[in-house]
């Protein structure tokens, strides 16, 4: 069973400015920049040891990330934990009374990741992403 910290998501207003800081000032390795239309975000992914830092900018005002920034300002938005089977984990957590944002996990990034979220009210104030990466994707 592979349970591990996968990434830390940070909500930012200006992705390009944030990339300049994390890559050029801090010196982190930028792995890729991609759009995740299913979640209405553009993300920049940095490799930090075996974990990633994911900078997120909302692509429209209704995006969860845009709403988060408007309500609470920029900052740590979620912590993501990799599990072997996000579908099974979703069902297990639901059976234990945990509130998840999606009834069933959804595929994102061309099907390379399957994700769900535990609502912060069920996780002591932290939005927790649970995800399973498909074979071959990092
Ligand atoms: N971390 C901690 N608390 C959060 C939060 C976050 N990221 N987002 C919202 N909250 C808190 C709010 O501050 C609020 O708390 P109070 O009631 O104490 O003020 C409460 O949660 C609001 O909850 P809500 O009314 O149910 O819902 P919101 O409209 O604020 O939406 C959430 C919150 C988590 C349901 C929504 O953001 C969501 O569905 N998120 C999952 C999808 C997502 O975040 N996608 C972006 C990332 C995609 C990616 O990684 O690719």
**Segment 76-132, tens digit of pLDDT:** 999 999 999 999 999 999 999 999 999 999 999 888 999 999 999 999 999 999 999
Q: Is 31 exposed, middle or buried (0-12, 13-18, 19+ CB in 10 A)?
A: middle
Q: Decide: 36 in ligand 1 pocket, CB within 6 A.
A: yes
The answer to whether the beta carbons of residues 41 and 56 sit under 8 Å apart is yes
CA dist 94 to 97, 115, 121, Å? 5, 15, 14
- The pLDDT value given to residue 1: 54
pLDDT of residue 36: 93
Q: Is the pLDDT of residue 136 over 90?
A: no
pLDDT at 135 over 80: no
Residue 138 binned pLDDT confidence (cut-offs 50, 70, 90): low
Contact by Cβ (8 Å): 131, 78: no
**Alpha helices by DSSP H, the chain:** 15-19, 64-72, 86-95
8-state DSSP, 97: T
CB of 100 closer than 6 angstroms to any ligand 1 atom: no
32 vs 137, higher pLDDT: 32
* Domain spans of the chain, in order of start: 3-133
Q: What is the CA radius of gyration of the chain?
A: 15
Q: What are the pLDDT digits (tens) for 28-66?
A: 999 999 999 999 999 999 999 999 999 999 999 999 999
Residue nearest to atom 32 of ligand 1 (CA): 119
pLDDT at 120 (0 to 100): 98
For ligand 1, atom 34, the nearest C-alpha belongs to 119
- pLDDT confidence bin for 133, thresholds 50/70/90: very high
Assess whether the C-beta atom of 119 lies below 6 angstroms from ligand 1: yes
- Which residues are within 8 A (CB) of 50 and not within 5 positions of it... i.e. 6 or more apart? 4
Question: Phi and psi for 17 in degrees, rounded to 5?
Answer: -65, -40
The pLDDT assigned to 134 comes to 87
Q: With a 6 A CB cut-off, is 59 part of the ligand 1 pocket?
A: no
* Domain range 3-133, CATH class: alpha beta
Q: How far is the CA of 36 from the centre of ligand 1 (A)?
A: 17
Residue 60 · residue 66 · CB < 8 Å: yes
- Nearest-atom number in ligand 1 for the CA of 65 is 46
């Amino acid at each position: 069973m592979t349970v591990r910290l996968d990434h830390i998501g940070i909500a930012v207003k200006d992705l390009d400015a944030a990339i300049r800081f994390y890559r050029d000032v801090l010196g982190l390795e930028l792995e890729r920049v991609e759009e995740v239309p299913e979640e209405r975000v553009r993300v920049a992914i940095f490799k930090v040891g075996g974990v990633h830092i994911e900078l997120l900018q909302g692509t429209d005002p209704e995006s969860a990330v845009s709403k988060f920034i408007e309500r609470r300002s920029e900052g740590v938005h979620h912590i993501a934990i990799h599990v072997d089977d996000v579908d099974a984990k979703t069902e297990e957590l639901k059976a234990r009374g945990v509130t998840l944002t999606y009834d069933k996990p959804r595929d994102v990034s061309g099907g390379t990741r399957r994700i769900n979220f535990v609502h912060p009210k069920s996780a002591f104030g932290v939005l927790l992403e649970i995800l399973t990466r498909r074979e071959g994707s990092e």
